[in-house]
Amino acid sequence: MGEFAPNNTPFPPLTAARDGSNFTYTSLHDRVPHILTDVINDFYAAIQASQDAAAVAEGKQLTAQLSQLKHEMVTDKPLAALADDGVGDIAQWNSWLARYFAGASWYSAPFLAWEPYMYRRIATVFGRSAHWRAYDFFAARKRDTFRASMAAVAKLCARVDAVVRETRATDSLVKRHLAFVEVLQASLWGNQTDLSMFPDLSNERLEEMQARISSGENSDRIAANDTDRVWEVVQGVRAGRVDIVLDNAGFELLQDVLLAHWLVAAGVAAQVVFHAKRIPWYVSDVTGRDFDWLVATLQDPQAAGASGLAAADAAVLRALGGQWRRLLDSGVWRVQDELFWTGPLGFRYLPTAAPDLWADLCASDLVIFKGDLNYRKLIYDLHWPVSTPFVDAIGPLAADGAPPIVALRTAKCDTIVGVDPARAKELFAVRSDWMYSGEYGVIQLSPGRRR
């Protein structure tokens, strides 16, 4: 499929239906304003807790800016230019707005324009401040949710630790295949723990999710499943490099790190590169600090505020946390936070807009893109015919010389490709909202290379 501009796409972009009939409208009218209200309320609590009079005074000014943003959203004002917070990408953001969406309002702009714009604008409010520049307006929610799920965390870690031991002890290709399927699908379904979609995740729900993964019950909820093709790629990699473009912190990040743990233990990867966000993003997206916090929490659960763990469970967590810290210290694991991931462009522009990053990814043996937003940016947020091949939708990222790319996504937005029309019809008959319910997923592969 040929190149296209953000405002001139081969199929219509997702926009909010004025009659309120689509998920984009529901998100803009209800879900996202609620997220912004939570940011304001949580920040108000942080201001109240501050003993610094200057920080309190500035905090009130920032709250007014956040309230202004919410007002512009709910009253359908044009998307305003972003103020420069010194991070380094505002010129690109404002050039993109002026070139492709000049005068566009919240309800007329595509979903994949106004939603990331909102998160980037929130970041500019804090990034330009004197006292609140380092404030992660989503950190407390990410960490509190993870602490509250420690029983599920311990069960998952114990299970994957057992799978790793079994993998190391066997020469059976069948057993290694089964182990890989389990850890890959665990990483897929970890994407259900998205706080921008499901802000009230409980420990009980996380344990139920993990039980479904372990039992294989979720397999029939994978709308397009290239697991066996991905396994063929993995079989051909020995002591190679795997990149994981991360999505959510907390329980999903744990699943991704456990996948990386298995890949190293199985001899597939000698290096794993994790790609995080440089700024707080989409409520629960992983920053470098989130990654470090996860490892530190497993190293010392009690110090991180976790309570009620059995001694044996705590020992498993501490052992894994120690192993992961050593992998980070030795450079076997690396965490990077390129600005491109929080920029305005879809990922098809990687080769031209971020050539150094693309060249680095092309050196990888396998690049895994996690989650719903990364998927939407891979294929572009359009009303694609569901049968459109994944490799066609990602365009330049499937060209000669590209690395093998895997998308692991639970669907939380009504755009999808690579699904057999008969399968899609079957799913629509089961539930009309399957494309954005978060209950169905895809594992899709672009094999890459070919030179």
C-beta of residue 145 within 8 angstroms of C-beta of residue 195: yes
The pLDDT of residue 361 is above 90: yes
Q: What pLDDT is recorded for position 215? A: 54
Q: What pLDDT is recorded for position 216? A: 61
Cα 93 from Cα 279, distance rounded (Å): 15
Look at 3-17, 165-179, 218-232, 243-257 and tell me which has the smallest mean pLDDT: 3-17
pLDDT digits (tens, 9 = 90+) for 124-171: 999 999 999 999 988 888 888 888 888 888 888 999 999 999 999 999
Alpha carbon 72 to its chain centroid, in Å, reads 27
Alpha carbon 246 to its chain centroid, in Å, reads 5
CA distances from 177 to 159, 228, 232, 263, 309 (A): 16, 9, 10, 12, 32
* Range 342-365 average pLDDT: 97
* Range 252-281 average pLDDT: 96
Q: What pLDDT is recorded for position 197? A: 42
Indicate the pTM of the whole model: 0.94
pLDDT digits (tens, 9 = 90+) for 168-222: 999 999 999 999 999 999 999 987 764 444 444 455 655 565 555 555 667 889 9
C-beta of residue 348 within 8 angstroms of C-beta of residue 394: yes
| Other beta carbons less than 10 A from residue 440's beta carbon | 24
Assign 3-class secondary structure to the chain.
CCCCECCECCCCECCCCCCCCCHHHHHHHHHHHHHHHHHHHHHHHHHHHCCCHHHHHHHHHHHHHHHHHHHHHHCCCECCCCCCCCCCCHHHHHHHHHHHCCCCECCCCCHHHHHHHHHHHHHHHHHCCCCCCCCCCCHHHHHHHHHHCHHHHHHHHHHHHHHHHHHHHCCCHHHHHHHHHHHHHHHHHHCCCCCCCCCCCCHHHHHHHHHHHHHCHHHHHEEEECHHHHHHHHHCCCCEEEEEECCECCHHHHHHHHHHHHHHHCCCEEEEEEECECCCCCCCECEHHHHHHHHHHHHCCCCCCCCCCCHHHHHHHHHHHHHHHHHHHHCCEEEECCHHHHCCCCHHHHHHHCHHHHHHHHCCCEEEEECHHHHHHHHCCECCCCCCCHHHHCHHHHCCCCCCEEEEEECCCCCCCCCCHHHHHHHHHHCCCCCCCCCCEEEEEECCCCC
Q: Who's near 327: CB < 8 A, 6+ residues apart?
A: 264, 272, 333
pLDDT digits (tens, 9 = 90+) for 94-114: 999 999 999 999 999 999 999
Name the band, by pLDDT with cuts 50, 70 and 90, for residue 226. very high
